[in-house]
Amino acid sequence: MTGAATPPALETRGLCKSFGALTVASRIDFRLARGARQALIGPNGAGKTSFVNLVTGVLKPSDGRILLDAADITPLSQAQRVKRGIVRTFQITTLFRGLSVLENVTLAVSERLGSGGDIHRAAGSRRHIIDEAYALLERLALHDEALRPVKELAYGRQRLVEIAVALGLAPKVLLLDEPAAGVPSSESGTIVETIERLPADIALLIIEHDMDLVFRLARRITVLVAGQILVEGTPQEIAADARVRQVYLGERAHA
């Protein structure tokens, strides 16, 4: 844990969520330090996606609180939380498929700068927005495909656009939901490198199945099992933890 003086970028206290008899989050106390490189792992059905949905405001918690920079954001809507800097990507590519790559990112930048609802001027006349979006594409080496519809891109490239759209929102906390899911291993290297090069001030939480990727990117790992945090620690601690091996790694070895 970092010192108590600086509050964590993101924190949940006693976070609970249940759908009837099904409990997907049970008293989760979670902390994500500023500039963290942390992974959230757990077997299928552990509640990882529900946790992301709770933090981003898609789901309302049954109980507990969510804090961003020590400020309570529990009652805020999804859109309001994005404005505060909590941004996510999706496990299954969730993009504007018929629109160009540049348009995808421009939409995000435009919303962040509060001109997404502007009806009086042409979108093209907002040159600073387009230039910022384009600069972002250059950073991710996507600019050669700027004007191509997203659906025409290779899946690995689409996963990069997924990250580019999120970066267009200038996140403080970025939740990457299986960023390399479905990408052939020959292309996943680019995605890993892109994540490694993300600005250090962004607190990253990577939700991931791929253990190679987790151990390469994360400096801390949180293990979620049945809606509860089983253990949290450094990659070495997690790899050596007997309970983790049993419920998670062991299960994978048998599969």
Compute CA distances 56 → 35, 47, 53, 59, 154, whole Å. Answer: 18, 14, 5, 8, 28
> Could you give the 3-state DSSP secondary structure of residue 31?
strand
> Could you give the 3-state DSSP secondary structure of residue 97?
coil
- Cβ proximity to other proteins: between 74 and 100 the closer is 100
What is d(CA 223, CA 20) in angstroms, rounded to the nearest whole number? 24
Shortest Å, Cβ 207 to other proteins = 15
- Cβ proximity to other proteins: between 56 and 194 the closer is 56
Shortest Å, Cβ 31 to other proteins = 23
Residue 144: phi and psi, rounded to 5, are: -65, -20
- Cβ proximity to other proteins: between 33 and 59 the closer is 59
Shortest Å, Cβ 251 to other proteins = 30
- Cβ proximity to other proteins: between 121 and 254 the closer is 121
Shortest Å, Cβ 140 to other proteins = 14
Amino acid letter, 18? S
Q: Which two tokens stand for residue 203?
A: 């607190």
- Cβ proximity to other proteins: between 139 and 245 the closer is 139
Interacting residues with other proteins (CB under 8 A): 56, 58, 78-83, 87-88, 90, 94-100, 102-103, 106-108, 110-112, 115-127, 130-131, 134, 138, 143-144, 146-147, 165, 168-169
Task: Give CA torsion, residues 163, 168, 171, 176, to 10 deg.
Answer: -10
